[in-house]
Amino acid sequence: MSEIQAIFWDVGGVLLTNAWDHTERAAALERFHLDEKEFAPRHEMVVSSFERGQITLDEYLHRTVFYRDRPFTREQFRDYMFSLSRPMPEVLAFARALAGSRKYFMGTINNESRELNLHRIEKFGLREIFQLFVSSCFVGLRKPESGIYRLAIEITQFNPEECCFIDDRAPNLECPAKLGMHTIQMQSPEQLHVELQKLGVKAVASGQ
């Protein structure tokens, strides 16, 4: 087995809570007393463009929420969206330790809209951990499309068998596995440690 040189991580559901998945959307709809039957089809019409960076957050909100007058402001809704992001402390600390070991190239492969992605990168110090963000909003591709995984491999110039991709959703692991990448479906921090150790990945500080 080839030694792992690069570790690519999903962000929402692995390192942080999801940014704007069904749970977060449901919380916002309840908070602002919005009709899910009204919101859902509007969201589905634009979510692909939103996550591919083809429309801005303001455009998304105009299409899904503020197509008519509301008793709350765009800023209030936007701030609440941002407030829903929380860290997964154990996994985030482990990723930080792996980055600190300087043994592995660290990158993300994630589906996220531009404004939420940039907010989360800044708020949770992800630039200190990752050298590359293959985010859907930056590259115009989304998981589980094979192109986004192929792009990560081609940009970094690692062989697929030297790469590991971690995601919490099984469908997102099918294409990278077919490309030859090692894959791990994260179910818990402890299970993730075990699976990475099986691949020879350990958070050993540089110089030890």
**Contact between 41 and 35 (Cβ < 8 Å):** no
pTM of the model: 0.94
Of the chain, the end-to-end C-alpha distance in Å amounts to 24
Q: Where are the domains of the chain?
A: 6-17+87-198, 22-83
Strand order in the sheet with 182-185: 132-135, 105-110, 6-9, 163-167, 182-185
CATH of domain 22-83: 1.10.150.240
Per-residue model confidence (pLDDT) at position 46 = 98
Per-residue model confidence (pLDDT) at position 78 = 98
Do 6-17+87-198 and 22-83 agree at the fold level? no
CATH of domain 6-17+87-198: 3.40.50.1000
Q: What is the largest CA-CA distance in the chain?
A: 61
Burial class (CB in 10 A: 0-12, 13-18, 19+), 101: middle
C-alpha span between 86 and 82 (Å, rounded): 10
pLDDT (tens digit, 0 to 9) for every residue of the chain, 208 residues total? 689 999 999 999 999 999 999 999 999 999 999 999 999 999 999 999 999 999 999 999 999 999 999 999 999 999 999 999 999 999 999 999 999 999 999 999 999 999 999 999 999 999 999 999 999 999 999 999 999 999 999 999 999 999 999 999 999 999 999 999 999 999 999 999 999 999 999 876 544 4
Sequence-separated (6 or more) residues with CB below 8 Å from residue 202: 101, 196
The CA–CA distances, whole Å, from 6 to 65, 70, 105, 176 equal 40, 47, 4, 13
Per-residue model confidence (pLDDT) at position 42 = 98
Per-residue model confidence (pLDDT) at position 2 = 83
Per-residue model confidence (pLDDT) at position 161 = 98
Per-residue model confidence (pLDDT) at position 203 = 77
